[in-house]
Amino acid sequence: MTIENLVPEDHFLRKLDRLVDFSFIYEETKEYYCHHNGRPSIDPVILVKYLLVGYLYGIESERRIEQEIQVNMAYRWFLGLDLDERVPDHSTISQNRRRRFGGENLLRRLFEHILHLCMGKGLVDGKLILTDSTHVKANASFQANVKVLAEHETTDYMERLDRYEAEERRRLEDSGAIKPQRTGCGKKERKKVEKTVSITDPEAGMLRRPGKPEGMHYLSHQSVDAAHGIVVDVAVTPGNTSDSEPYLARIEHMRNHLGLNIETTGADSAYGTSLIYRAMEDMGIHLHTPGATGGVNYKVEFTREAFEYKKEKDCFICPAGKELTLRSLEREHYNICRTYRADRKDCRACPMLNRCVSDSHRSRTIRVNIFEEAVRRQREKDGTPIHKHILKLRQIWCEGSFAAQKWMHNLRRLFRRGIEAARDHCLLSATALNLKRMVKCLE
């Protein structure tokens, strides 16, 4: 009796082995091994397969993976171990993973290798990419938290917003539409904010969202190709990051690094910020998100619709026939607005003052988001059958993938600490899902 004839021909791991040649791991890891001296070390392919068994079969602890490989013929066969061969100790695997490959992105390269394999087999076309995020519980005590005052971090999202603002300001100042900004009036100093930080895992973030469990979490931001549900990108952030924050950088990564020719994307309403709409339009990508809820709350009777925009003079005409001229460019939360204001003298003498101006103001102001037109153009397809179809696909592939990963591929919680461990964990979970979908499509 041999191990070869103990494993059924149609076993999932046999099918996987026929499709994926894991020997590329030797090439990827050759610089971490010395071939001339020292004790023979653990085979890097065995290390990767050992971890994959855990994520493919939902075995969370490395100690239990070792036990399962000892008694399961198919797992042994997949790792290339004979019936009487010793299974590598879980602590050896742990130490190798942490010390030898920690911070070396080996698991990202594994994820991308499998992804390129899927792309080569025609399972990814890259035309429609669907994105969502899910929370993964950090390995942190709920009680061991402290409150600290922290600086606002400069994020990629805010830097992009700054660039658009600088560009618009230069354009308006050069055309004489607004006065040049006085030196020192540019960026306001950002206030420090109070943050809850975990003592056991300071890199995790406090998740506080309606309908989600409160506590220290990481967020796995995952993008899925709509052709066969292959996960094409995984990014991990602390749990207190907004979904829109890493989105544009990840889209650029998929286009530039993976070479995907993205035409359309779908995401939930958290991604529908005006900056994202504008940046996506600049990239030539059509973004579909669910319709916006709510709108501007006016305290007065005259809403913006009561004012007529005159393009040639770049001003608004109010119901009393007075002009609201462009005065400044202002940052309002995450929006950049052109501010139009009526003359105080006109408003003071106006019989419609109390229908138009709130008590706290002396003249009427209208703020126009500089991305407004881009948002309008991108939202033109809202409610159409294709828009509804894309949002349905987003639910199926994104939420369906997360459900499968949480149920079967260890995405529910983390065993190790730190954002690097969280990233490796989410990448392995996505790799396991991709391998299963690849086998399902090709075998």
Closest contact distance (angstroms) between CB of 366 and ligand SF4 is 9
Across the strands, what pairs with 317? Answer: 308, 323
Q: Report the distance separating Cα 274 and Cα 372, nearest Å.
A: 7
Residue 366 in contact with ligand SF4, rule: CB under 6 A = no
Among 19, 353, 404, 441, binds ligand SF4 (CB under 6 A): 353
Residue 319 in contact with ligand SF4, rule: CB under 6 A = yes
Which residue's structure tokens are 């086998």? 439
If the CB atoms of residues 281 and 323 are measured against ligand SF4, the closer one turns out to be 323
Residue 364 in contact with ligand SF4, rule: CB under 6 A = yes
If the CB atoms of residues 251 and 366 are measured against ligand SF4, the closer one turns out to be 366
Q: Identify the helix (H) or strand (E) that includes residue 238.
A: strand 231-238
Residue 433 in contact with ligand SF4, rule: CB under 6 A = no
Residue 322 in contact with ligand SF4, rule: CB under 6 A = yes
If the CB atoms of residues 278 and 322 are measured against ligand SF4, the closer one turns out to be 322
Residue 346 in contact with ligand SF4, rule: CB under 6 A = yes
Closest contact distance (angstroms) between CB of 297 and ligand SF4 is 18
Closest contact distance (angstroms) between CB of 308 and ligand SF4 is 12
Is the distance from CB of 219 to CB of 133 less than 8 angstroms?
A: yes
Is the distance from CB of 240 to CB of 214 less than 8 angstroms?
A: no
Residue 315 in contact with ligand SF4, rule: CB under 6 A = no
If the CB atoms of residues 70 and 303 are measured against ligand SF4, the closer one turns out to be 303
By rule CB under 6 A, what count of residues binds ligand SF4? 13
Q: Which stretch binds ligand SF4 (CB under 6 A): 25-33, 44-52, 206-214, 313-321?
A: 313-321
Residue 347 in contact with ligand SF4, rule: CB under 6 A = yes
- Quickly count: other Cβ atoms within 10 Å of residue 123's Cβ: 19
Residue 300 in contact with ligand SF4, rule: CB under 6 A = no
Q: Identify the helix (H) or strand (E) that includes residue 28.
A: helix 24-29
Helix, strand or coil, per DSSP, at residue 265? strand
Q: Residues near 287 by Cβ (< 8 Å), separated by ≥ 6?
A: 264, 265, 266, 267, 271, 272, 276, 277, 280, 378
Is the distance from CB of 301 to CB of 354 less than 8 angstroms?
A: no
Q: Identify the helix (H) or strand (E) that includes residue 236.
A: strand 231-238
Is the distance from CB of 128 to CB of 225 less than 8 angstroms?
A: yes
If the CB atoms of residues 264 and 328 are measured against ligand SF4, the closer one turns out to be 328
Among 226, 230, 350, 426, binds ligand SF4 (CB under 6 A): 350
Residue 169 in contact with ligand SF4, rule: CB under 6 A = no
Residue 287 in contact with ligand SF4, rule: CB under 6 A = no
If the CB atoms of residues 55 and 307 are measured against ligand SF4, the closer one turns out to be 307
Closest contact distance (angstroms) between CB of 136 and ligand SF4 is 52
**Alpha helices for 37-174 (secondary structure H):** 44-56, 62-71, 73-79, 90-95, 106-120, 156-174
Among 53, 206, 230, 356, binds ligand SF4 (CB under 6 A): 356
Closest contact distance (angstroms) between CB of 300 and ligand SF4 is 9
Closest contact distance (angstroms) between CB of 359 and ligand SF4 is 13
Q: Report the distance separating Cα 439 and Cα 52, nearest Å.
A: 15
Q: Identify the helix (H) or strand (E) that includes residue 374.
A: helix 372-378
294: tokens are 């709510």
Closest contact distance (angstroms) between CB of 358 and ligand SF4 is 11
Q: Residues near 312 by Cβ (< 8 Å), separated by ≥ 6?
A: none
If the CB atoms of residues 346 and 382 are measured against ligand SF4, the closer one turns out to be 346
- φ/ψ (deg, to 5) at 268: -85, 180
40: tokens are 């023979």
Closest contact distance (angstroms) between CB of 201 and ligand SF4 is 54
Closest contact distance (angstroms) between CB of 368 and ligand SF4 is 15
Angle made by CA atoms 147, 148, 151, in degrees to the nearest 5 = 145
Residue 342 in contact with ligand SF4, rule: CB under 6 A = yes
Residue 352 in contact with ligand SF4, rule: CB under 6 A = yes
Is the distance from CB of 51 to CB of 97 less than 8 angstroms?
A: yes
Binding site for ligand SF4 (CB under 6 A): 318-320, 322, 342, 346-347, 350, 352-353, 356-357, 364
